[in-house]
Chains A and B, each alone.
Chain A
Amino acid sequence: MQRIQWFKWLSLVLYGIPMLLVLVFPFIVMVSTSFKTLEEVSQIPPTFIPRNPTLENYREVWNIIPLADHFRNSFLLGVGETFLIMVLGVPAAYALARFRFAGRQPYLIFLLVTQMFPAIVVVLGVFRVVVALGLLNNLAVVATTAASFSLAFCIWLLVGYFSAIPPEIEEAAMMDGDSRLGAMIKMTLPLSWPGLVAVGVFAFMDGWNEFLFSLTFISNDEMMPLTVGLFRFISRFQIQWHHLMTGSLLATIVAVALFMTVQDKLTRGMLAISEK
């Protein structure tokens, strides 16, 4: 027993802690760089802890990049994707979880197959149509294509959450005179609320973190989300790392904070998928 204790601490110190340090390293660098002045950022050798920490970057960055626009656009992408995933995904997942019908298995397999091709295939396939319809620089188009791309995965997640709720509850409600739809809305949806919230946050983050569709469908600075806006910023100018890292940190904080609120439910949902 003594030996096991000893081994546990050793592995934690020798492997666990260094690994975690590497995993959070970019975030430490973001924080450190965001408090540096231009002078200190361009100094050789660099410093790790800012010598003259400044909050100036957090004030300046909004004027140097249209960061407020980027924030708004990322937020709209997140909300749009959440909305679409819920409207399209919840009914489908409910049907797949509750009913046994002829098309069920083929549909589940189809969902799996949609995971097999890269998003760039969708981009190539719809790009011409988007251009022809004059829909470039349209956030709704980005949100819709992005949503359709992660819809399959979200349906799988939702099926898991709905399956966990015993159908007897609905049957009882139907005995009391509710319709199937009424029973679903009254009984199952409230009970699967934590799962719905988890998928909703997942969809929001998917929109917030979206990169490829925005990169190809949006060329207008004011319409870009954070990911593409910051990327354009580094390819257009002499890279101002202190501003870039400040913007990056702000964009990251939102995503990480949201994710932490639902991570437990989400990982359990993913485990449920892999057990099928």
Chain B
Amino acid sequence: MTATAEVVTSSSETASRENIWRSIVREIRENHFPYLLLIPSILCFAALVIYPLVNTMIGAFSKTDTVGRAVEFGALINFRELVRDRYILNITIQTVIFVFGSVALTVVLSLPLALILNQRFPGAALARALLLMPWAAPLAISAMTWRWIFHDQLGALNYVLNTLNITQARTAWLSDPVLAFICVIFVEVWSSIPFMTIMFLAGLQSIPPHIYDAAKMDGANAWHEFWDMTLPQLKRITIIVTLLSIIWAFRSFNVIWPMTQGNPFFRTDNSVTYLYKLAFRSLAFGEGYALAFATFVFLLIFSVVYTRVLRSEEG
């Protein structure tokens, strides 16, 4: 710890910092028009994305009071609190099943639907319009409608099941923890199928038809055609669309909250609805910040690894 060493490092640091500043300034002076155009959006992001994010990070590592103010920085108390939370293990497991379960189901259900809708048949335009309805409709309102459909005595689902003689029971879908959890996943899948299908459909339509010609001459059957030619062509779009879907499912609030608000007994909560409860019902802002921070870091790492692995596989 000598004074001179410190001076040396700091002076060389200032020098390099000056260089960086100078090159930034030069870049902006020579190229100012695009930067000018970016300013409005940068200001907006700074105020309403970066500022809250930084706020959340500071809050995650601080003691907070009941209105969410950070009062003492540098504490891991929130994370300790989070780990000790009696629901957090369940919430984590539920979030993971909710996200990966719903995305996997959406892929499995959407691909065949896209293949079917890619055919020519009368009413294809109508089918496409119907397909898009769940995507266009306000999700919170659709979720409330599903809540009505799942109603035990008056709901349409039990009515359909009873009429088709599948069961005579009047199942209370949203009161049983396991059934309710299946129901919220179902509605999440319902709401994600249109986007996934329409992307697969667009991907299918962009496959150049001539790649099938050679296969036809070799006498390949339909299954081979699909497995060896169609699927590889869809790989790229599948990677991006699943990544987007996973991120969106992690952020999902508008399905669970209107349907169950996490009930019964926190068994349909995901991390977002639980976070909402922590902050606005228990006023445990500190713990909420910690959970928000953990979710963000997880998603960031996941996205980087996911794209790296799949891109490298692509070669």
Contacts and interface: CB of A to CB of B under 8 A. Distances in A.
Contact of B251 (A119, A148, A241): A119
Contacts of A218: none
Contacts of A237: none
Interface string B41-64: 100110111011111100100000
Given A26-B145, A91-B41, A208-B138, A120 B199 contact: no
A271 B136 contact: no
A259 B148 contact: no
Instruction: Please indicate which of the listed interface residues A30, A32, A125, A145 has the most CB atoms of chain B within 10 Å of its own CB.
Output: A125
B141 A251 contact: yes
Interface stretch (A16-24, A169-177, A189-197): A16-24
Contact of B136 (A22, A94, A260): A260
Contacts of B116: 8, 11-12, 15-16
Nearest to A253: B137
Contacts of A244: 144, 148
29 contacts: A8-B121, A27-B145, A33-B148, A44-B153, A92-B41, A102-B31, A115-B244, A115-B247, A117-B53, A119-B251, A124-B52, A124-B68, A128-B69, A145-B48, A148-B47, A149-B48, A211-B140, A216-B280, A234-B144, A234-B147, A244-B144, A248-B145, A255-B136, A255-B138, A256-B133, A263-B132, A267-B198, A271-B199, A274-B240
A125 B45 contact: no
A107 interface: yes
B230 interface: no
Interface of B: 24, 27, 31, 33-35, 37-38, 40-41, 44-45, 47-49, 51-56, 59, 67-69, 109, 112-113, 115-117, 119, 121, 127, 129-142, 144-149, 151, 153-156, 159, 162, 190, 193-195, 198-199, 202-203, 206, 222, 236-237, 240-241, 244, 247, 250-251, 253-254, 257-258, 271-272, 275-276, 279-280, 285, 288-289, 292, 295-296, 299-300, 303
A95 B56 contact: no
A6 B240 CA distance: 34
B52 A91 contact: no
B253 A11 contact: no
Interface of A: 4, 7-8, 11-12, 15-16, 19-20, 22-27, 29-30, 32-33, 41-46, 48, 84, 87-89, 91-92, 94-96, 98-99, 101-104, 107, 110, 113-128, 131, 144-145, 147-149, 151-152, 155, 180, 205, 208-209, 211-212, 215-216, 226-228, 230-231, 234, 241, 244-245, 248, 251-252, 255-256, 258-260, 263, 267-268, 270-271, 273-275
A131 B237 contact: no
A30 B141 CA distance: 10
B66 to A, nearest CB: 11
Contacts of B119: 8, 12
A209 B139 contact: yes
B75 to A, nearest CB: 18
Given A44-B153, A103-B35, A120-B272, A271 B130 contact: no
Contacts of A126: 48, 51-52, 55
A91 B38 contact: yes
Given A19-B113, A127-B68, A255-B136, A46 B154 contact: yes
A179 B24 CA distance: 25
B49 A122 contact: yes
Contacts of B142: 26, 252
A95 B34 contact: yes
Contacts of B121: 8, 12
Contacts of A32: 156
A23 to B, nearest CB: 6
Given A23-B190, A88-B41, A116 B300 contact: yes
A23 B193 CA distance: 9
A259 B116 CA distance: 23
Contact of A125 (B51, B109, B236): B51
A116 B49 contact: no
Nearest to B258: A231
Contacts of A96: 34, 38
A136 to B, nearest CB: 13
B199 A211 contact: no
B150 to A, nearest CB: 11
Nearest to A14: B116
B35 A101 contact: yes
A163 to B, nearest CB: 14
Given A20-B127, A231-B144, A92 B38 contact: yes
A53 B199 CA distance: 39
A162 to B, nearest CB: 11
Contacts of B115: 11
A87 B41 CA distance: 9
A197 B241 CA distance: 24
